[in-house]
Amino acid sequence: MKIELNNLTFSYKKRSAPVLEGVGAVFEQGKRYALTGRNGSGKTTLANLILGLLKPQNGNILINGEDAAKMSAALRAKKIGYLFQNPDLQLFAPTVMEELAFPFELTGTLTEEKQDELQRMLTIFHLNGMEERFPLTMSGGEKQRLALATVMSRHAEFLILDEPTSAIDRECRSFLTNFINGFAGGALVITHDEELIASLDSPHLLKLEGGRVHEA
C-alpha cells in the first residue's frame, strides 16, 4: 500500500485563495505519520481529498501507482479507512451489532465467516456485552472503538485518523495508541496532541503550513 500526493491544489470556492497549494507527500505501508498544523490549515481538507470526497483542482493522487481519480469512493474506501473527527457522523444503526453487520447484510455478503469475524471484532475493540447498546449514546471512547471496528471489518490497509484524541479519556488513549502502533498497514494521524505523537512508534512528523506539507 502506497499513497502518493503530487502537487495537490484545492480551494473550496473558485475565486478564493486555495486551502492547499502544491501539496506533495508519500505515505507507505507499515509506517506511521503524524500531521500537525494550525486550526483551519487544511488538515481535514487534505484527508477528504485522499479519500476522494473532494476533488483537487490540480495535481493527482496515486494509490499503489493507480490514479485515484479513476477509482470510485467505495473502491478507495476498501483500501483506506477513515476515522472522522466526530464519530457520530459515521454511526448509523440502532444497535452496536447491527452497526457492524448492516453493510454486509445490505450487500449480501454477511456469511457465517463474516459473522464470526464481526464477533471477534467485538472482543478486539472491547465492545463485548454492548451488542444491544445504541451507538450514539455511548461514550466518546466507545464510539471511537466501534467506528474503528467498522473500518477494520472492511480490512482497510491504510488508516486516516482525524484528531482522534479530541473526545476520549485517558484509558481510551492507551487503547488507541496500542492499536495504531500494532496496525500492520500505514496510518496518518492528524493531531495537535503532543502526548499522542510522543506515544506513537517512530512516527514521521509532518506539518501543514501555508497550504503545503513540510517535514517537521
Partner 1 sequence: MRLDPRARLLLILLITTLAVLAKDIAYLAIVFFAALAVNAMLKINIIGAAKRMRHFIWLILFIAIVQSLTVKGGTALLSVGKINFLTTKGIGFAAEFVLRMGIILLAGLIAASSDGREMTDGLLKLGMPYELAFMSAIALRFLPVFRDEFVARINAMAMRGIDIKRLSLPKKLKVYGYLILPAVSGCVIKSEELARSMSARGFGAEKKRTMLRALKLTWTDWLVMIIAVLLTAAYLVFMYTYGNLFVL
- Residues lying near ligand ADP in the complex (CB under 6 A) are found at 12, 19, 37, 39-45
| Chain length of the chain | 216
Q: Least distance (Å) from ligand ADP to the CB of residue 89?
A: 14
**From candidates 65, 106, 112, 184, binder to partner 1 by CB under 8 A:** 106
Identify the DSSP state of 203.
P
Q: Least distance (Å) from ligand ADP to the CB of residue 41?
A: 4
- Binding partner of 19, given ligand ADP, Mg ion, partner 1, none, CB within 5-8 angstroms per partner class: ligand ADP
Q: Least distance (Å) from Mg ion to the CB of residue 40?
A: 8
**From candidates 36, 150, 165, 177, binder to partner 1 by CB under 8 A:** 150
- Binding partner of 42, given ligand ADP, partner 1, Mg ion, none, CB within 5-8 angstroms per partner class: ligand ADP
CB nearer to partner 1: give 162 or 165: 162
Determine the residue type at 183. Answer: F
- Binding partner of 165, given ligand ADP, Mg ion, partner 1, none, CB within 5-8 angstroms per partner class: none
**Cβ neighbour number for residue 170 with a 10 Å cutoff:** 9
Q: Given the rule CB under 8 A, which of 29-37, 75-83, 123-131, 205-213 is the region that contacts partner 1?
A: 75-83
Contacts of 23 (CB under 8 A, 6+ apart): 5, 7, 8, 9, 46, 59, 211, 212, 213
CA distances in angstroms from 213 to 83, 141, 184, 208, listed in the order given: 21, 29, 24, 4
Question: What phi and psi values does residue 215 have, to the nearest 5 degrees?
Answer: -75, 130
Is residue 113 near partner 1 by the rule CB under 8 A?
no
Cα separation, 91 vs 81, in Å, equals 14
State the sign of the Cα–Cα–Cα–Cα dihedral 97, 98, 99, 105: positive
- Binding partner of 122, given ligand ADP, Mg ion, partner 1, none, CB within 5-8 angstroms per partner class: none
Is residue 39 near partner 1 by the rule CB under 8 A?
no
CA distances in angstroms from 180 to 15, 32, 42, 164, 169, listed in the order given: 39, 8, 23, 11, 17
Is residue 95 near Mg ion by the rule CB under 5 A?
no
